[in-house]
């Protein structure tokens, strides 16, 4: 068996809508080639922007299609932390997405973590962090099926977050790429919706719902940053590649987006369920894990005293990979935790990989 990859949140090859997108791409080149093969608007392909604007209840000028949502976040971070500003602080969840930490550091932000645990977001801690003078520049949250923890903030927590941020005039960046990949439970309103579209930048993506290789993400931004963002993006790349954006739009226009999403949900749910079953069977006492209702990731807390760094070395020696907890913290904590992505390996590989991991943890515990 080749390496069992629990490291990256990428879809297994059988989930990708290959035939559908091939046909859509051919169609848009043939039918709208003069648009998609030329330079275009800095915010991308207009019909997809219009569709997204309708989904989010905003005007299309506020929707920026980006080369994946991470590029969108990087651009916002650079804009927000450029020049002489009263505060360089960015508040993020602990743990949070590792690439966000890198992007914020690259933009010159000072990162302040607020804990998110199985009990939820530490709202008192958040209030303290937002109460500084001057207030932090940005609050970055992944409220749904969080990367890395898989956790989802409740509606009450979201309302409290919006209230705190509004009271302090802090812009929220809501990074929500997996929102539609829910396989059970009730949908929760976005921070963007709860804030009435004010002072929240919403980031979505077609990476988790259609195909990450298309690199189609988007931002819904407040009117005030439309112009600076347009300038920054056109300076960066004139316009983003419109062919993948048009292919996605065509998939939607043909009514094939929802069935694609449904297949992703079904396949990922089967893999998540296999993961739960295998963890239940194979993990030694003292190990616990999160129970996401959707998305690509879950979080494992190792038994006390079992360190993740040597565990990863031993896991790689038996061809299992995952990402270590400290990658998701600004201060190196999380050294007895890890993130498992459950999207790529097959159900059989999941069982085999978790069995191997369980044995290694039990060995580490008894060493």
Ligand X SMILES: Cc1ncc(COP(=O)(O)O)c(C=O)c1O
Residues that bind ligand X (CB under 6 A): 9, 68-70, 97, 142, 147, 175, 177, 205, 207, 212, 217
Rank residues 9 and 353 by Cβ distance to ligand X and give the closer one.
9
- Least distance to ligand X, CB of residue 219, Å: 11
Rank residues 205 and 282 by Cβ distance to ligand X and give the closer one.
205
Rank residues 104 and 135 by Cβ distance to ligand X and give the closer one.
104
**Rounded Cα gap, residues 219 and 363, in angstroms:** 46
Rank residues 289 and 297 by Cβ distance to ligand X and give the closer one.
297
- Least distance to ligand X, CB of residue 196, Å: 23
How many residues are present in the chain?
Answer: 367
Rank residues 89 and 175 by Cβ distance to ligand X and give the closer one.
175
- Least distance to ligand X, CB of residue 205, Å: 3
- Least distance to ligand X, CB of residue 295, Å: 8
β-pair type (89-94, 138-141): parallel
Residue 112 DSSP SS3: strand
Total Cβ atoms within 10 A of residue 152: 24
Element (H, E) at 50: helix 46-56
Rank residues 17 and 135 by Cβ distance to ligand X and give the closer one.
17
Rank residues 44 and 177 by Cβ distance to ligand X and give the closer one.
177
- Least distance to ligand X, CB of residue 178, Å: 7
- Least distance to ligand X, CB of residue 90, Å: 15
Peptide bond into 134 cis (omega under 30): yes
**Rounded Cα gap, residues 333 and 48, in angstroms:** 41
- Least distance to ligand X, CB of residue 208, Å: 7
**Rounded Cα gap, residues 25 and 207, in angstroms:** 17
How far is CA 134 from each of CA 7, 85, 87, 112, 163, rounded to the nearest angstrom?
38, 10, 6, 14, 18
Rank residues 97 and 299 by Cβ distance to ligand X and give the closer one.
97
- Least distance to ligand X, CB of residue 71, Å: 6
- Least distance to ligand X, CB of residue 29, Å: 23
Would you state the structure tokens that stand for residue 277, as one six-digit string? 């079953």
Largest CA distance in the chain: 66
Using CA of residue 208, residue 254, residue 53, residue 166, what is the dihedral sign? negative
Would you state the structure tokens that stand for residue 164, as one six-digit string? 């705190």
Q: What phi and psi, each to the nearest 5 degrees, are found at residue 13?
A: -55, -30
Rank residues 142 and 323 by Cβ distance to ligand X and give the closer one.
142
Total Cβ atoms within 10 A of residue 32: 17
Residue closest to ligand X (Cβ): 68
The answer for residues whose C-beta is within 8 angstroms of residue 13's C-beta and 6 or more apart is: none
**Rounded Cα gap, residues 161 and 166, in angstroms:** 8
CB 298, CB 275: distance < 8 Å: yes
């Amino acid at each position: 068996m080749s390496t069992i990859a629990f490291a990256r949140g990428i879809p297994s090859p059988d989930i990708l809508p290959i035939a559908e997108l091939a046909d859509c791409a051919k169609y848009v080149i043939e039918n709208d080639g003069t648009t998609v093969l030329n330079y275009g608007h800095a915010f991308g392909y207009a019909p997809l922007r219009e569709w997204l604007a309708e989904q989010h209840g905003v005007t299309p000028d506020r929707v920026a299609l980006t080369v994946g949502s991470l590029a969108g976040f990087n651009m916002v971070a650079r804009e927000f932390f450029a020049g002489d500003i009263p505060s360089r602080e960015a508040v993020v969840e602990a743990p949070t997405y590792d690439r966000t930490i890198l992007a914020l550091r690259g933009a010159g932000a000072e990162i302040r973590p607020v804990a998110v645990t199985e009990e939820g977001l530490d709202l008192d801690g958040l209030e303290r962090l937002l109460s500084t003078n001057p207030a932090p520049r940005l609050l970055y949250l992944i409220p749904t099926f969080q990367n890395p923890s898989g956790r989802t903030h409740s509606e009450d927590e979201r309302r409290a977050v919006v209230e705190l941020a509004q009271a302090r005039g802090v812009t929220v960046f809501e990074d929500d790429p997996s929102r539609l990949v829910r396989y059970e439970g009730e949908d929760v309103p976005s921070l963007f919706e709860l804030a009435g579209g004010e002072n929240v930048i919403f980031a979505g993506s077609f990476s988790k719902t259609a195909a990450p290789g298309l690199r189609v993400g988007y931002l819904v931004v407040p009117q005030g940053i439309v112009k600076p963002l347009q300038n920054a993006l056109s300076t960066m790349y004139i316009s983003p590649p419109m062919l993948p954006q048009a292919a996605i739009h065509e998939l939607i226009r043909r009514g094939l987006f929802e069935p694609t999403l449904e297949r992703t949900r079904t396949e990922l749910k089967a893999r998540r369920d296999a993961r739960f079953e295998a963890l239940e069977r194979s993990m030694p006492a003292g190990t616990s894990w999160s129970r996401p209702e959707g998305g690509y990731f879950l979080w494992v807390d190792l038994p006390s005293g079992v360190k993740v760094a040597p565990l990863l070395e031993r896991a790689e020696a038996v061809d299992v990979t995952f990402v270590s907890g400290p990658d998701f913290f600004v201060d190196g904590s999380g050294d007895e935790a890890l993130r498992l992505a459950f999207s790529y390996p097959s159900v059989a590989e999941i069982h085999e990989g978790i069995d191997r991991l369980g044995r290694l943890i039990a060995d580490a515990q008894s060493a």
